[in-house]
Amino acid sequence: MATDALFEIQDLHVSVEGKEVLKGVTLNIRPGEVHAIMGRNGSGKTTLSYALMGHPRYQITKGRVLLGGQDLAGLAPDERARRRLFLAFQYPVAVPGVTVANFLRSSIRAVRGDEIPAREVRKLIVAEAQALGIPDSFMSRSLNDGFSGGERKRLETLQMRLLRPRVAVLDETDSGLDIDALRVVSERIESLRSPERGVLLITHYQRMLDYVKPDQVHVFLDGRIVKSGGADLALELEKKGYDWLGVQDAGMGSGART
């Protein structure tokens, strides 16, 4: 059936080490839309992000993921990145011995190819880093090695800005950010909104949605979307918590990290 969705998640079931974590997630993002996913720890939010990016530990047992109408099944994470799917990790890893500058240049070449002339790459990196308040001295440091949580999140936001994805999946980008850093990072994310791009923003709290305005908010409980609505749904969750939904969330919080 024809659809105008840029990104389609169709009845997605995902298992981790033999345990089913996602139990039938369906979600469509049209070009230009920002969707937020909220939910308690262990509800399946991070499992969704890893499965979308093709992490081998997260096995899709049923359903499909389509980007621009193309099925991503069987594609390795690097190939999904070349298709312009981007994941900002909840816990960005340190890579000792690989400088930030080399990592960013390599990422741009791998994903955007010859789209940017080589002589323009450094100018682009410097301009975007300055906008995020990232000192030039960071470029010679090992990637995320010894960085605070907030510094790691700023660098991931920088990478996203440089790679210009068609769909960006942001897994709790607000964690570890102080108030000022949250505002800067959120504003740079919001400025990426365009008619050609979609964003899936995973968060615990309303605070990031004060800056990145969602078109739809979805509530995750026990591996399912149990409620969807507009931006006002996030405000309601902030006031009432999750219990008011009246949905049993048995089994959450045990087993693999989700």
Q: Where are the domains of the chain?
A: 7-244
Q: What is the pLDDT of residue 249?
A: 40
Percent share of the chain, pLDDT over 70:
94
* Angle, helices 118-131/100-112, rounded to nearest 10 degrees: 120
Residue 37: closest CA among 15, 7, 66: 7
Q: What is the pLDDT of residue 3?
A: 63
Amino acid occupying residue 79: E
Give the closest residue to 172 by CA, choosing from 56, 70, 47, 73: 47
The pLDDT score that the predictor gives to residue 132 is 86
pTM here?
0.87
Per-residue exposure over 149-172, b if at least 16 CB sit within 10 Å of its own CB, e if not: ebbbbbbbbbbbbbbbbbbbbbbb
Give me the mean pLDDT over the 31-42 stretch: 92
CA distance 160 to 154: 10
pLDDT in the model for residue 253: 33
Which CATH code is given to the segment(s) 7-244?
3.40.50.300
The pLDDT of residue 173 is 85
Write out pLDDT tens, residues 154-211.
899 899 999 999 999 999 888 778 888 888 888 888 888 889 999 999 988 788 898 9
More confident residue, 250 or 69: 69
How far from chain centre, in Å, is Cα 160? 10
pLDDT tens figures, 113-135: 888 888 899 999 999 999 888 99
Q: Quick one: tokens of 40?
A: 């308690």
Mean pLDDT, rounded, for 218-241:
91
d(CA 45, CA 216): 16
